[in-house]
Amino acid sequence: MTSYKLNCLKIFLGLILIAGVLTAASEQIVTEELIRIMGEQLLLKDRVINGKLPDYTENGRWIFRDKVNWFSGMTAGELFTFYELTGGEHYKTLGLKYAQALIPYAGIDYTHDMGFIFMPSVVKAYEMTGDVKYRQAGVRAAKMLAKRFNVKGNFIRAWGTLGSTSKAGWMIIDTMMNLELLFWTADETGNRELYNIAYRHAVTTMNTLIRPDGGSWHVAEFDPKTGALEKRRTHQGFSDESTWSRGQAWGIAGFAQTYRYTQDPRFYATAKKMAEYFIQKLPEDTVPVWDLDLAGKTELKDASAAAIAAVGFFELADLAKTKEDYDFFQNQAVRITRSLLKSYLFTESTREREEGLLLHTLYHYHKKWGVDESFPAGDYYLTQALKKLTDYENMKFFIEDIPERRVYTLNEKWAFLKENIHLARAFSRALQQLSPSHQKTEALL
Can 302 be counted among the known catalytic residues?
no
Is 264 designated active site? Answer: no
pLDDT tens digit sequence for 295-321: 999 899 999 999 999 999 999 999 999
pLDDT band (50, 70, 90) for residue 49: very high
Count Cβ atoms within 10 A of the Cβ of residue 340 and give its class: 0-12 exposed, 13-18 middle, 19 or more buried. buried
Return d(Cα 200, Cα 205) in angstroms, integer.
9
**Predicted local distance difference test score (pLDDT) of residue 394:** 87
CA angle at residue 145 from 143 to 150, to 5 degrees? 110
The answer to whether residue 204 sits within a structural domain is yes
CB neighbourhood size of 265 (10 A): 10
Does some domain include residue 168?
yes
Asked if residue 424 is part of any domain, the answer here is no
Sorting pLDDT into bands at 50, 70 and 90, what band is 10?
Answer: very low
With 0-12 / 13-18 / 19 or more C-beta atoms within 10 angstroms meaning exposed / middle / buried, residue 368 is exposed
Residue 378 lies in a domain: no
Does residue 255 sit within a domain? no
Tell whether the model's pLDDT for residue 283 goes beyond 70. yes
Domain that holds residue 188: 72-80+87-233
pLDDT tier for residue 432 given thresholds of 50, 70 and 90:
low
For the entire predicted model, the pTM comes to 0.85
Q: What is the pLDDT of residue 401?
A: 45
Q: By CB neighbour count within 10 A (0-12 exposed, 13-18 middle, 19+ buried), where does 323 fall? A: exposed
Identify whether the C-beta of residue 377 lies closer than 8 Å to the C-beta of residue 71: yes
> Average pLDDT of 143-149?
98
What burial class does residue 19 get, using C-beta atoms within 10 Å of its C-beta: 0-12 exposed, 13-18 middle, 19+ buried?
Answer: middle
Question: What does the pLDDT average to over 117-126?
Answer: 98
Asked if residue 144 belongs to a domain, the reply is yes
The one catalytic residue in 46, 113, 291, 379 is: 113
User: Is 212 within the bounds of a domain?
Assistant: yes
Q: What is the largest CA-CA distance in the chain?
A: 74
Per the model's pLDDT, the better-predicted residue between 24 and 297 turns out to be 297
Predicted confidence (pLDDT) per residue in 63-120, tens digit = 999 999 999 999 999 999 999 999 999 999 999 999 999 999 999 999 999 999 999 9
Q: How far apart are the first and last CA of the chain?
A: 14
363 phi and psi, to 5 degrees? -70, -60
Please give the backbone phi and psi of residue 195, each rounded to the nearest 5 degrees, phi first. Answer: -60, -45
Q: In this structure, is residue 385 part of a structural domain?
A: no
Say if residue 156 is exposed, middle or buried (CB neighbours under 10 Å; 0-12, 13-18, 19+): buried
Please, which pLDDT band fits residue 282 given cuts at 50, 70 and 90? Answer: very high
pLDDT, tens digit, for every residue of 110-119? 999 999 999 9
On whether the CB atoms of residues 150 and 227 are closer than 8 A, the answer is: yes
CATH number at residue 118: 1.50.10.10
**Total domains in the fold of the chain:** 1
- Structure confidence at residue 395 (pLDDT): 79
Q: Which of 55, 174, 291, 302 is catalytic?
A: 174
Share the mean pLDDT of the chain: 88
